[in-house]
Amino acid sequence: MTDTRKKAAALRYDTKKESAPRVVAKGKGKTAEKILQIAKEHKVPIKDDPHLVEILSTLDLYQEIPPELYRAVAEILAFVYRMTRKVQ
């Protein structure tokens, strides 16, 4: 049986302090809804990528993403950059 509940993951990347983005929140169901709600309240761009969320959900909180995810996460960071540039 497949778990069809909504899932979410949040990343943080401080280029001055970290060598790679980190997973700072993750969850499914009500927790995922809360993550998305907080992101919307703070005008954080949201990218819908169920496959990447599935992978990020396997990482520990505050764990740096592994090198094999750099390309996928770089695409997310580029998306966020484009979205924030449109808002400004």
For 45-60, the pLDDT digits (tens) are 898 889 999 999 999 9
Q: pLDDT-based confidence at 69, cuts 50/70/90?
A: very high
- Range 79-88, long-range pairs (CB < 8 A, 24+ positions): 79/45, 79/47, 80/44, 80/45, 80/47, 83/45, 84/45, 87/43
pTM: 0.80
